[in-house]
Amino acid sequence: MKLKLRFATICCLAASIVTPAFAQNSGADTYKAKCAMCHGADGLAATPAGKAMKAPSFKDPAVVKASDAELIAVVKNGKNGKMPSYAGKITDDQIKSVVAYIRTLQK
**What's the pLDDT tens digit per position in 61-74?**
999 999 999 999 99
Give the other-Cβ count within 10 Å of 5's Cβ.
Answer: 9
Q: What is the pLDDT of residue 74?
A: 96
In degrees and rounded to multiples of 5, residue 83 shows phi and psi of: -90, 125
Domains, in order of start, for the chain: 24-105 (1.10.760.10)
**What's the pLDDT tens digit per position in 77-101?**
998 888 999 999 999 999 999 999 9
Rg (CA), the chain: 17
What percent of the chain shows pLDDT beyond 90?
72
Closest CA to 104 of 36, 27, 23, 32: 27
8 Å CB contact between 94 and 24: yes
Distance CA 11, CA 64 (A): 44
Give the other-Cβ count within 10 Å of 71's Cβ.
Answer: 19
Distance CA 7, CA 34 (A): 32
